[in-house]
Amino acid sequence: MLLIKNIMTLLQVRDDSPQYVAGPAMKTLPSIDHAFLLVDEGKIVDYGEMENCPKISNAEQIDATGKIVLPSWCDSHTHIVYAGNREGEFVDRINGMTYQEIAENGGGILNSAKKLQATSIEDLYDQSKKRLEEVILMGTGAVEIKSGYGLTKDAELKMLRVIKMLKENYDIPIKATFLGAHAIPQEFKGNKLGYLAMLIEEILPVIAEESLAEYIDIFCEKGYFTVEDTELIMEAGKRFGLTPKIHVNQFTSIGGVGAGVKHSALSVDHLEVMTDEDISALEGSDTMPVALPSCSFFLSIPYTPARKMIDRGLALALATDYNPGSTPSGNMNFVVSTACIKMKMTPEEAINAATINGAYAMGLENEVGSITIGKRANFIITEKVNSLGFLPYSFGKNHIDSVYLNGKKQVF
Ligand code: NIG
Ligand code: FE
């Protein structure tokens, strides 16, 4: 047993956890001041005000005077399994090339695919586990990881097998997404439908057979895949038991959001460019919009219009998009700060978006995302801070004292 005592503020306390919070409800972050939290066998078993703290002699005790305890970040969109880096392209962009121009010249996703194809599964695992450990220590306590830098049958399966190995070896819950339709590889240039057919006929059956993924994704964007391609992939995924979670509206709005909603996508992600029609398509649906502000920051592209979306009653989740091209950072603390600074979300809204709504965007809302009895004891203890607003305010500093997964302190 583990008992955390004298917590200055216990955040995101939900006796009866909703699946997600939307619209005006995002402004409320239920909390208890001067609180305790009790953990047993990896789960939250009790919490409340200190005056009701049970007297337990056989529990390990931690004093959290002056500190905040909150559920771990739920990062519902990452690509942390990749090989090598792309800082050369970063410099090319500084010198004036655009992200799209780099991709059109064989850089971008194809550059990462070339590196990954030449990397052994052991090496890929070693590179990826470092990033997983890094994000855990920054407070992430549930994560989704995509394939999509393989672009051949062997390399896509290699990525998914690495994700499976990570699932087996770490306490953090991980969801895997098949993103074979991330870009059209050189070998299929001019034959996009041939590539999609290969994904559907040759890779999806193996994924289903070996239970290698829960979700299916596609990059729905001008120059990549059309709305028609997106519908084809979402339907194929569903036939193999995979739920859609898609990349849409990063640079242009071409109707992918509506298509995602129509096909009951669990989430639609990026959304830097949103028309009124896209917002209307999400109204009344259970598809979670996911914003990736670190990507906007790194590429200097617009931020998802969070204010407009939440004020129209929508839910919103926040995730990192950690990947070598558009977001070489997996820091959810920075994401929360950036959402407040650049997207005008309040700290309460941003923390709801980065916990309970992120959990929903990867089907983990019954396991993580709030301080609720029966959920996993995945939480962050902050350093001594003044208030919750201090966390996003002092951007660039994480203020993390320690992180726990299944009630175990994480050290690497
Ligand atoms: O989510 N937009 C598509 N895919 C990734 C980045 C791909 C890359 O540049 O490597 C993203 O931003
Ligand atoms: Fe992404």
Counting from 1 in the atom list of ligand 1, the atom nearest the Cα of 179 is: 4
Q: Does residue 78's CB lie within 6 angstroms of at least one atom of ligand 1?
A: no
Q: Does residue 107's CB lie within 6 angstroms of at least one atom of ligand 1?
A: no
**What pLDDT was estimated at residue 6?**
98
Q: Does residue 320's CB lie within 6 angstroms of at least one atom of ligand 1?
A: no
Task: Output Rg (C-alpha) for the chain, integer angstroms.
Answer: 21
User: Considering every ligand atom, which ligand is closest to the CA of 79?
Assistant: 2
Determine the Cα–Cα distance for residues 326 and 38; give it in Å rounded to an integer: 40
Q: How far is CA 6 from CA 48, 60, 64, 143, 225, in A?
A: 11, 14, 5, 29, 53
User: Considering every ligand atom, which ligand is closest to the CA of 326?
Assistant: 1
Measuring CA to CA, which residue among 309, 298, 305, 355 is closest to residue 142? 355
- Residue among 219, 224, 272 whose CB has most ligand 1 atoms within 8 A, to mutate: 219
**What pLDDT was estimated at residue 47?**
98
23 touches 53 (CB < 8 A): no
Measuring CA to CA, which residue among 321, 389, 404, 371 is closest to residue 143? 321
| Strand (E) or helix (H) holding 248 | strand 243-248
Q: Does residue 323's CB lie within 6 angstroms of at least one atom of ligand 1?
A: yes
| β 2-11/67-71 pair status | parallel
- Residue among 220, 292, 323 whose CB has most ligand 1 atoms within 8 A, to mutate: 323
Domains of the chain: 2-71+370-409 (2.30.40.10), 73-360 (3.20.20.140)
Closest C-alpha residue for ligand 1 atom 8: 325
**What pLDDT was estimated at residue 106?**
86
Q: Does residue 108's CB lie within 6 angstroms of at least one atom of ligand 1?
A: yes
In tens digits, the chain (412 residues) has pLDDT values of 999 999 999 999 999 989 999 999 999 999 999 999 999 999 999 999 999 999 999 999 999 999 999 999 999 999 999 999 999 999 999 999 999 999 988 899 999 999 999 999 999 999 999 999 999 999 999 999 999 999 999 999 999 999 999 999 999 999 999 999 999 999 999 999 999 999 999 999 999 999 999 999 999 999 999 999 999 999 999 999 999 999 999 999 999 999 999 999 999 999 999 999 999 999 999 999 999 999 999 999 999 999 999 999 999 999 999 999 999 999 999 999 999 999 999 999 999 999 999 999 999 999 999 999 999 999 999 999 999 999 999 999 999 999 999 999 999 9
Q: Does residue 111's CB lie within 6 angstroms of at least one atom of ligand 1?
A: no
Please list, in sequence order, all residues whose beta carbon lies within 8 angstroms of the beta carbon of residue 208, skipping any fewer than 6 positions away. Answer: 240, 241, 242
User: Considering every ligand atom, which ligand is closest to the CA of 327?
Assistant: 1
The three-state secondary structure class of 37 is strand
Measuring CA to CA, which residue among 234, 314, 251 is closest to residue 279? 314
Q: Which two tokens stand for residue 300?
A: 């200097």
Measuring CA to CA, which residue among 354, 345, 346 is closest to residue 387? 346
Counting from 1 in the atom list of ligand 1, the atom nearest the Cα of 99 is: 9
Q: Does residue 391's CB lie within 6 angstroms of at least one atom of ligand 1?
A: no
Q: How many whole angstroms from 211 Cα to the centroid of ligand 2?
A: 22
| β 400-405/43-49 pair status | unpaired
Measuring CA to CA, which residue among 45, 16, 87, 124 is closest to residue 373? 45
